[in-house]
Amino acid sequence: MAIHPTAKLDPNAIVAPSAEIGANVQIERYAQIMANSIIGEGSIIGPAAVIGEHAVIGSKNQIMARTSLGNHITIGNENVIQQDVVIESNVRIGNENLLMVRTFIGDNTVIGNRNRIHIGAVIGHAPQDIKYKNEKTSLQIGDDNIIREYASIHRSTSLDHPTIVGSNCFLMGYTHIAHDCHVGNNVIMANFAALAGHVHVGDRAFISGGVMIHQFVTVGRLAMVAGNGRFNMDIPPFAMAAERNQIWGINMVGLKRAQFPSNTIVEVREAYRIFFSNKAPRYELLQKLKERAFLSAEVQELIQFLENSKRGICQGTLHPKAEEEENPSC
């Protein structure tokens, strides 16, 4: 057993002989440190907390009472893990994260830096897929996300294709991200919004409260999805989508906040008018868009999205006044 002379161990704590305890570590009563684990300098292990085998805990972490950490986990520096948190095996957590009371982190989850995960969130639990047979699969979460109370994010059904949540996302209370989803950066999901399996969400999309999105749907970059909508078709980038598979116009507020040049906004709006105000077949409408020779990269992005859609595109029911609303029907 390697215990630094400045470490403080409660007499009722249990530390395996093969564990390494760094300088100024505090291990409180009834805490258990299992075999071959390393506790870094200045960390605090709270009462009745359990640290599994081969765990590597960095410096200045606060691991509070009754928390259970599995085997082969790696935790960086200056994290706060509150009471009754459960972290399963083979988890990697970066630096300066906050995991609030009763958070659950499932096997093979990777969490970056400075995330704030609120009370009762379920992160990296097994996928809800009847084909899943307890294979090793994973979830990857980036940096600086806010994941509010009782949100759930499930790991993938294949180890080669993890569920992914990017960085700077705000996932509000009771939101759900199912297995194999890919959620980009700066995405907002309001309360009770839910993504079924294999959904892809582009950067800076806003999914309002109560929205339900069917499996394999793609939501484009900077799309705004209005509250309580239901979607089983693809939502293009820059769209204002609402109700049941309807496109009301472009996300004017979002484009302005993203500081799109006015000429780009004009082109995107015109491209939407051509495509969504006409009932001709998709290939004819795409040809019209290409013939106009739009200059902006954003219109080219829109055209590529429309060409590549496998589920079909939501139907146009344009409402120009809705484009100026902050959060229509949220």
Q: In CATH, what number is assigned to the domain containing residue 172?
A: 2.160.10.10
Percent of the chain at pLDDT exceeding 90: 94
Residue 193 maps to a domain: yes
CA distances to 57, 127, 206 from 107, rounded to whole Å, are 17, 12, 29
| Residue 108 pLDDT greater than 70, yes or no | yes
Number of domains in the chain: 1
Residue 323 maps to a domain: no
Expressed in angstroms, the distance from the first to the final Cα of the chain is: 58
**How much is the average pLDDT of 214-242?**
98
Of 100, 97, 104, 46, nearest to 70 (Cα)?
A: 104
**How much is the average pLDDT of 169-181?**
98
Specify the residue for token string 């429309």: 306
CB 194 within 8 A of CB 171: no
| Residue 297 pLDDT greater than 60, yes or no | yes
pLDDT interval class at 211 (50, 70, 90): very high
Q: Residues 84, 107, 180, 234: which is the catalytic one?
A: 180
Domain assignment of residue 118, given as a range: 2-250
**What is the phi/psi pair of residue 56, to 5°?**
-120, 110
| Known catalytic membership, residue 197 | yes
Of 153, 141, 149, 145, nearest to 178 (Cα)?
A: 153
Residue 324 maps to a domain: no
Residue 35 maps to a domain: yes
Of 171, 164, 271, nearest to 211 (Cα)?
A: 171
Q: Residues 52, 184, 197, 209: which is the catalytic one?
A: 197
Per-residue pLDDT tens over the stretch 265-294? 999 999 999 999 888 999 999 999 999 989
| Known catalytic membership, residue 179 | yes
Residue 314 maps to a domain: no
CA distances to 50, 69, 155 from 134, rounded to whole Å, are 25, 20, 11
DSSP 170-195: EE-TT-EE-TT-EE-SS-EE-TT-EE
**How much is the average pLDDT of 154-173?**
97
Residue 125 maps to a domain: yes
Specify the residue for token string 């859609």: 309
Q: Are strands 224-225 and 182-183 parallel, antiparallel or unpaired?
A: unpaired
Q: What is the per-residue pLDDT for 329? A: 45
Strand partners, 170: 146, 188
**CA gap 208, 214 in Å, rounded:** 15
**CA gap 70, 43 in Å, rounded:** 17
Per the structure block, which two tokens stand in for 290? 């290409």
Rg (CA), the chain: 24
Residue 70 maps to a domain: yes
**CA gap 178, 127 in Å, rounded:** 7
- The model's pTM is 0.95
Residue 116 maps to a domain: yes
CB 157 within 8 A of CB 140: no
Q: Residues 179, 182, 198, 200: which is the catalytic one?
A: 179
